[in-house]
Structures are given as structure tokens and as C-alpha cells.
Amino acid sequence: MMEARAGEPQRTPMPEDFAALLRRQGHFPNLPTQAAASQTNFLQTQATTILAFKFADGVLVAGDRRATAGNVVVYDRADKVLEIDAHSLMAIAGVPATAWEMARVLEHSFQFYRRSQLQEMSLDGKVRALSKLLRDNFGFVMQGVGIVVPIFAAYDVGNSAARLYFYDAMGAQFEVADYAATGSGSAAVRSILYYENTWGKKPLQKWKHDDAVVLALQVLETAAEADTATGGVDKRRATFPIIKTITEAGITTLPEKTLAKIYKKQVG
């Protein structure tokens, strides 16, 4: 063992993982190392890109439809904007299998609370519930599987206000004032939303519904041009992004026929 020189801080040896401890003590000598175990040809299905921003009536949440595994397009009609209850949505970037399970757990948790307590869970409670699911999933993230980086959007009926949050993979929650975007195409999305919100004709929160929908389509088309993992509009297959809005009246999903008309008239 090397001794620390005078004046140098002592170095604490790195702790070994459980598999290394078993090998050192003579048990299971052929057990692979942690590094070797993490090296696999398994490619996870990933879903990107998602965005949300507040507009005059509430909050708009949108996501492209592409799911990829490495450089392979797995599916081009993935639903990345999931309804949790009458006034809240969860948009997913990351591994769909994990994210969809989180959405199901949230939905059932909110229903159980409503039926057992005879009242709605507070919005802050809903936000923290998703944060806990992400923290509980962090062990899988450290193993290189199951990462989810979602957006949570809701309308706070009691205060007549739209609320918007994004999270990191460890479950830290961040409330944003105007917009949020995550996923592989999010850099282009955030740039456009920042420009429109700061130097556009008016801030995003003053945009009318139809203008907000056009902007969402334009932004996702731009992201698809810059990022191969983001699926744009496929006019031949009539595949358009998922766009939902949350207002005081509840959640509205824009039909593909409506999106096709808007796209043809004002985007494409």
C-alpha cells in the first residue's frame, strides 16, 4: 500500500462492487466485472423529441412520433404525450417502456387518492409523485437502461393557472415560466421558442390557440431537419405529431385531420 507524502491529502480507495468482493474471496471466480457486464449489444428503444409552452388559454404539449434504437427507426407512430388525469399530461423523452409504466403508476395513484380521500391530490403532490418515480428508477439509469426525462404539464383549476415542469433523470423538478423541451432535438426547439418568446411579435403566453399549434408544428419540423432521431411530418403516411392542450375545461387532443389542414395551409 502506498503511503501519502507529506503535505498530500490521503486518497480514499474506491469501493469495489459486490461482484468484485465475491471474486476476491474466491466465490464465483468467473463472475464478469461490472464494466464487462455493462458492455452489451442491447439497444434500447428511445423516444424523442417533446416540448411544451404556455399560451393564452393554458399550456400546449407536443411530441414527434419517432422511436429509435441506435440508428434504427423502430416505430413512427409512438404516443409520447400521455394523459394522467383530467388536467395533467406527462410527455416522455427516453425509454418508452419505463415512461409508460410510470404514467400508469401515476394515473392509478391519482385515482386511488381521489377515491380514498374524496378529493383531488394537490398539484404539488402530483409533481413530487413523478419525481419519486424517477428517483426510484435511478438505479436502472446507472446501469445504462431505462432513462426517462419527462415534462409534466397541468392546469391548476383552483388558481386558474397553467403549470409546467421538466425533470432530470434523478428526479429533480424544475418549474418553468414559459416553455420546456427535452430529447435529442430539444436544442433546436429551445432556440426557436426562446427567440419567439423574447423577440417575437408577442410573448408565447399571449399567443392564441391556432397560432400556438402552427408554432408547435414548425418547431418539430425544424428539429427533424437537425436531428435524425426526431420524426417530422410524414405526409405520405399522414403521420403528424401528437399535440394536446390543457385549459380550464380540460385536455383536448388535436385530431390528425385537423393537423393535416393546418400543416397544408400554414406550414408545408
Cβ neighbours around 174 below 10 Å, total:
10
Q: Identify whether the C-beta of residue 178 lies closer than 8 Å to the C-beta of residue 203.
A: yes
Q: What's the rounded Cα separation, in Å, for the pair 217 and 231?
A: 12
Mean pLDDT estimate for the chain = 88
Q: Name the amino acid, one letter, at 217.
A: L
Cell of residue 149, nine digits:
426525462
Whole-model pTM: value is: 0.83
Closest CA to 165 of 25, 61, 28, 15: 61
| 60 SS3 class | strand
| pLDDT tens profile 39-49 | 445 567 776 89
> Per-residue pLDDT for the chain (268 aa), expressed as one digit of tens each?
445 455 555 555 555 566 666 667 776 555 555 444 444 455 677 768 999 999 999 999 999 999 998 888 899 999 999 999 999 999 999 999 999 999 999 999 999 999 999 999 999 999 999 999 999 999 888 888 889 999 999 999 989 999 999 999 999 999 999 999 999 999 999 999 999 999 999 999 999 999 999 999 999 999 999 999 999 888 888 899 999 999 999 999 999 999 999 999 998 7
| 53 SS3 class | strand
Q: Where are the domains of the chain?
A: 46-267
| pLDDT tens profile 139-181 | 888 888 889 999 999 999 989 999 999 999 999 999 999 999 9
Q: What's the rounded Cα separation, in Å, for the pair 252 and 155?
A: 12
Q: What's the rounded Cα separation, in Å, for the pair 6 and 141?
A: 40
Cβ neighbours around 178 below 10 Å, total:
17
Q: Identify whether the C-beta of residue 88 lies closer than 8 Å to the C-beta of residue 144.
A: no
19: left (phi over 0), alpha (psi -120 to 50) or beta: alpha
Active site includes 98?
A: no
Q: Which fold has domain 46-267?
A: Glutamine Phosphoribosylpyrophosphate, subunit 1, domain 1 (3.60.20)
Starting from the edge strand earliest in sequence, which strands make up the sheet with 173-175, in order?
Answer: 81-85, 88-91, 151-156, 161-167, 173-175
Catalytic residue among 12, 33, 40, 48: 48
